Amino acid sequence: MRPLRDPAKLAAAASSQRHLREIHAHLLVSGRIASPPHLAAFLVSLASSSSESDDGDLSYARLLLPRRPATLLAHNSLLRALARGRRPHLAFGAFRDLPLAPDNYSFTFLVRAATALAAAAASALDAALIAGSVHASALRHGHAADPHVQSGAVSMYAAAGDVGAARAAFAEIASPDVVCVTAMVGALATGGEADAARELFDGMPQRDHVAWNAMIAGYVRTGRSREALRLFDEMRHAGAAVGEVTLVSALTACAQLGALERGKWVHSYAHSRGMRLSVTLGTALIDMYSKCGAVATAMEVFDSMGERNVYTWTSAVSGLAMNGMGRDCLELFKRMESTGVEPNGVTFVAVLRGCSMAGLVDEGRACFDSMKSNHGIDPWLEHYGCMVDLYGRAGRLDDAVNFINGMPLEPHEGVWGALLNASRIHKNVELGQYAMDKLIAIESKNDAAHVLLSNIYADSQNWKGVSNVRNMMKAKGVKKMPGCSAIEVGGKVHEFFVGGKTHPRYKEIEMMLAEMSQRLRLQGYIANTKEVLFDIEEEDKEDAISLHSEKLALAFGLVALPEDMEIRIVKNLRVCEDCHDYTKMISKVFNREIVMRDRNRFHHFKDGACSCRDYW
DNA sequence: GTAGGGTTAG
């Protein structure tokens, strides 16, 4: 082998990772490992991103660190790689063992590692401790005024869940540049203060595309998707550089809203711009299509992707689950296992929910057991909740109770809530009361639970029980969250609330409601009033029910959408039994496909039947 | 010849 003397050529050769060890050996033999220093640093960072340094401890990269002379450049490169790696805490050890005093670069990497750790910390206290000590250390070494450290500190505190500390760190910056302000915008939004974030954003002297992205993502994170999409439009009109990150946030917003038309538009926008279907973009698309009920399209995207990670697979598994395709969900999960992408806790939540939706009790149980035995994951409370739901929905109430009794963790409200819901489905008043007692002991103000219990009583004609629940809610100040249904027409999302009459086209809606009632009556439809929470006069009940938000949205859909178009409705709560029956009938009488997303899942209505087979 | 802010699953 001819000796390589030119550093550039060496670097080019080494950039083929496979040859890294050969180059290393060559350097050792030729005695050139120590110089020039930037080359050593380059090799360290190269080795750091190599898949050969499997465990994330970068043992091979460490071998490349020149001992004499030790350079901060090379050590910083290692810090950088550790901070970005899967085990960021290792950056702390490397930082402690630095042979030279850390500089401002070292601190930016340490801050980055701390940010990752704080975000994953078991408790808020742990997170605050990590963030605080790193910041203090930067201060001691005189690097706290470096803009790179400052912006990092703001995000670090936000990741630690301490917006107050982020604010304080930001306040100390004499003249914050665009990056620092953007970090603060993100920090405020992370802390749920989207309005404060927006104020800061609006006051920015200049904003680049990252600032726009931060604000849009901030709205999405705080559940304000409509504002996110509005800002996305503004961003395009302002001529800022819309990139993949922007589109991913926009897609997440569409997913939250169930806004399929807008979601498709974003998809074709990405396509027309020649954007590659990256893992992140593809995953966001799968999520969006799934949450808009277009699960077939979601799977097309999934199939077309070249690279898929655990998020991608989980999105797809979850999409099938929420659309009630339990068999396909389980099949895809098995495919995932055989592909070698390791599922995590979130994946199991998805597949267990899929089994539960489809009544696949034994299969679900097998998945649950395999979590620990095949994947080394200790089940979370959510997983126990899924199992109670799985047994409970299937009518195996004894198994559900026994399962709870055998839990190694203290059951949380989700577990009792699942039992309560199962009691409702299978009309077991006693068990429902028991679950409710347990639930109230943990979380006394759960509005959904009160409504469920009321429904259980109503179902057994126990009006005294219904009114007791109502009084209990009044006494405790528990308010039923108002039902809201949304429907997208012409790219605009219209929202309806119970009994709402404020829509500009309400006259037409009212006429359509009358037509719907009439045509249903002819088909022998009888209103089901038993799930009405409030004890109003019987004749009013039918009116109250007929104005449930999903019915208003449905009527509007019939009025405003072309006849050959399916009607898609997104509801914030669980759909009530009457509305479910009603929608089934409408799908038959009006010969329309109707897709309804409720709090938990999708209902695909067609020809008088629902994809959930009334099992929800 | 290493740095900072924005993105995906429950």
Using pLDDT thresholds of 50, 70 and 90, give the confidence band for residue A499.
confident
Confidence of residue A5 (pLDDT cuts 50, 70, 90): very low
Is there a contact between A546 and A527 (Cβ–Cβ < 8 Å)?
Answer: yes
- The nucleotide minimizing the C1' distance to residue A283's CA is B8
- Spatial distance from the CA of A62 to the C1' of B5 (Å): 30
The nt closest to A212 (CA vs C1′) is B6
The residues spanned by each domain of chain A are 380-480, 484-610
* A70 band by pLDDT with thresholds 50, 70 and 90: confident
The C1' atom of B6 and the CA atom of A163 lie apart, in whole Å, by 18
- Mean pLDDT for chain A? 89
Q: Which of A62-76, A206-220, A492-506, A570-584 has the lowest mean pLDDT?
A: A62-76
Q: What is the pLDDT of residue A438?
A: 95
- In angstroms, the CA of A32 and the C1' of B4 are apart by 33
Mean pLDDT of A101-118: 97
Is A291 within 8 Å of A256 (Cβ atoms)? yes
Instruction: Report whether pLDDT(A414) > 90.
Output: yes
At A604, is the secondary structure helix, strand, or coil? strand
CA angle A163, A137, A44 (to 5 degrees): 105
Place of tokens 């290692």: A78
pLDDT in tens, A404-413: 999 999 999 9
pLDDT digits (tens, 9 = 90+) for A313-335: 999 999 999 999 999 999 999 99
Q: Which residue has the higher pLDDT, A74 or A242?
A: A242
pLDDT band at A535 (very low <50, low <70, confident <90, very high): very low
Report the nearest residue to nucleotide B7, CA vs C1'. Answer: A245
Protein CA at A490 to nucleotide C1' at B8, angstroms? 27
Q: How far is the CA of A68 from the C1' of B8 (A)?
A: 44
Q: Is the pLDDT of residue A243 over 70?
A: yes
Q: What is the mean pLDDT of residues A244-267?
A: 97
Give chain A's radius of gyration (CA, Å): 28
| The pLDDT value given to residue A547 | 82
Scanning every strand, the nucleotide with its C1' closest to A173's CA turns out to be B4
Pick left, alpha or beta for residue A215 (phi over 0 → left; psi -120 to 50 → alpha; otherwise beta). Answer: alpha
Query: Which nt has its C1' nearest the CA of A216?
Result: B6
Our measurement of CA A149 to C1' B4, in angstroms, reads: 6
As a rounded value in angstroms, the CA-to-C1' distance for A13 and B6 is: 34
The DSSP bridge partners found for residue A488 are A493
Distance CA A240, CA A208 (A): 7
Nearest Cα to Cα of residue A433 among A399, A457, A402, A410:
A457
Q: Which nucleotides of B are covered by protein (CB under 7 A)?
A: 1-10
Q: Give per-residue pLDDT as tens, A352-371.
A: 999 999 999 999 999 999 99
- Residue A71: pLDDT band (50, 70, 90) is confident
Query: Which nucleotide is nearest to A600 if distance is taken from CA to C1'?
Result: B10
Gap from A446 CA to B7 C1', in Å? 33
Q: Tokens 């670097």 identify what position?
A: A11
The label of the residue with tokens 């898949």 reads A51
- Joined together, the tokens standing for residue A266 give 């974003």
Which whole-number Å values give the CA distances from A297 to A235, A238, A291, A301, A530, in the listed order?
Answer: 28, 32, 11, 6, 38
Strand order in the sheet with A602-606: A492-497, A484-489, A567-571, A594-597, A602-606, A609-610
Question: Looking at per-residue confidence, does A69 or A111 come out higher?
Answer: A111
Closest nt by CA–C1' to A147? B4
Under 8 Å between Cβ of A570 and A524:
no
The pLDDT of A131-156, averaged and rounded, is: 97
- Span A113-118, mean pLDDT? 97
Residue A136: pLDDT band (50, 70, 90) is: very high
State the pLDDT at residue A1: 36
Q: What local confidence, expressed as pLDDT, does residue A523 receive?
A: 82
Q: What is the CATH number of domain A380-480?
A: 1.25.40
- pLDDT reported for residue A444: 85
Report the interhelical angle of A72-84 vs A37-48 (nearest 10°): 10
Using the predicted structure, report yes or no on whether residue A34 has a pLDDT greater than 60: no
> Which of residues A188 and A542 earns the better pLDDT score?
A188
Nucleotide whose C1' lies closest to the alpha carbon of residue A284: B8
- Measure CA to C1' and name the residue nearest B1: A38
* Across all strands, nucleotide nearest A80 (CA–C1'): B2
Calculate mean pLDDT across residues A465-493.
92
* CA distances for A167 relative to A113, A142, A185, A218, A593, angstroms: 20, 20, 10, 16, 50
Q: Average of pLDDT values for A7-17?
A: 49
Amino acid A546: pLDDT: 60
CA separation for the pair A294, A49 (Å, rounded): 38
Compare A578 and A31 and report the one with higher pLDDT.
A578
Residue nearest to nucleotide B3 (CA to C1'): A105
Identify, with chain letter, the residue nearest to nucleotide B2 (CA–C1').
A77
CA A227 to C1' B3 (Å) is 33
Q: Provide the percentage of residues in chain A whose pLDDT is more than 70.
A: 86
Residue A348 has pLDDT above 50, yes or no: yes
- Determine the protein residue whose CA lies at the shortest distance from the C1' of B10: A346
Question: How long is the CA A220 to C1' B8 vector, in angstroms?
Answer: 13
CA of A153 to C1' of B5 (A): 11
